[in-house]
Amino acid sequence: MKIRLKDYRIAPGEEVDLKKRKTLVKPAYRSKDDYREILADHVARLSDLQQRHYAANSYGALVIFQAMDAAGKDGAIRHVMSGVNPQGCKVSSFKHPSAIEAQHDFLWRATRELPERGQIGIFNRSYYEDVLVVRVHPEILEGQGVPEHRYRNDTLWEERYRSIRDFEKHLHANGTRIVKIFLHLSKEEQRKRFLARIDEPDKNWKLSPSDVVERKFWKDYRKAYEGAISATSSAEAPWYVVPADDKENARLIVSQIVLDLLEGLKPAFPTVTADREAQLQAIRADLVAEEE
Ligand code: ATP
Ligand code: MG
């Protein structure tokens, strides 16, 4: 079944209602084998496109992942990017800001991780955390010297949305192509995955007590995500809300999004000029002559 990305893309200006958006849809695969085949095909095409993207060296590609815990960000990144050349790809994870990072504006630490031309940058969480977890827990801002009256009303968040829109517009104008992916998980599916992380010893390391604390703020996160996605999905940097209760299907959708992003850049190996061709032939002649 063809994956229709339009079903998941958020139009600019659209008010997102996450309750109305599905966390589970009819899968794009018919069986586990079929899933593996489609994924392998996507991965092979991605690998080819990435080589061209790297050689063309004209755009940077940035894929941002956001989600609640256990939604499958890590697995999606691992599977989808499994075929790409590590030299052309960098994954950056954004955790609690360090003391130095907290001394700067909220976009600062992300700018240092942006992909160069010819590269793919993956953000595992991002500056969106500053309008998500920080909005759910505004006390975080206290430690960063932001006066309380600033975040007790909505202006701070609206300003941050504007900063993000302007930032992404600026990146687009300067050759970075961006997609943003929200892995949309149901609360019930998160509960099951947390239980599996407790019951299966190999998964124990994945569960931290703070994950369970954040779960209690589910509704607040949903509202924060709805606000952020609605305010920042643009033609230049669209959001995709990807149903994530079925990990395999989510990976197929995610790989299709990344494929579309790279295909849209029409990456081509640089063409050889007549001068360059003559130069190559001269070098060739010398190398052949060396043979005896
Ligand atoms: P894992 O799948 O390994 O759990 P993770 O992305 O959840 O991956 P953690 O180290 O568990 O990584 O969590 C990182 C934490 O850092 C998250 O709870 C996230 O909300 C928080 N965080 C990220 N950016 C910020 C920020 N700017 N301000 C405050 N907290 C942040
Ligand atoms: Mg975590």
What is this structure's pTM? 0.95
Q: Is the CB of 102 under 6 A from ligand 1?
A: no
Ligand nearest to the CA of 206: 1
Q: Is the CB of 129 under 6 A from ligand 1?
A: yes
Q: Which two tokens stand for residue 193?
A: 């995955």
User: Please, how many CA atoms are within 13 Å of residue 169, restricted to the half-sphere of its CB?
Assistant: 10
Q: Which two tokens stand for residue 32?
A: 């586990």
Name the stretches of the chain with pLDDT < 50: none
Domain ranges of the chain: 5-289
Going from the Cα of 190 to the center of ligand 2, the distance in angstroms, rounded, reads: 12
Share of the chain above pLDDT 70, in %: 100
Give residues whose Cβ lies within 5 Å of ion ligand 2: 69
Distance in angstroms (rounded) separating the CA atoms of residues 136 and 273:
56
Going from the Cα of 214 to the center of ligand 1, the distance in angstroms, rounded, reads: 11
Tell me, what's the pLDDT at 2?
Answer: 85
Beta strands in the chain (DSSP E): 60-67, 89-93, 120-124, 176-184, 239-243
Q: Is the CB of 140 under 6 A from ligand 1?
A: yes
Going from the Cα of 194 to the center of ligand 2, the distance in angstroms, rounded, reads: 11
User: Please, how many CA atoms are within 13 Å of residue 131, restricted to the half-sphere of its CB?
Assistant: 26
Instruction: Give the domain 5-289 fold.
Output: Rossmann fold (3.40.50)
Tell me, what's the pLDDT at 140?
Answer: 92
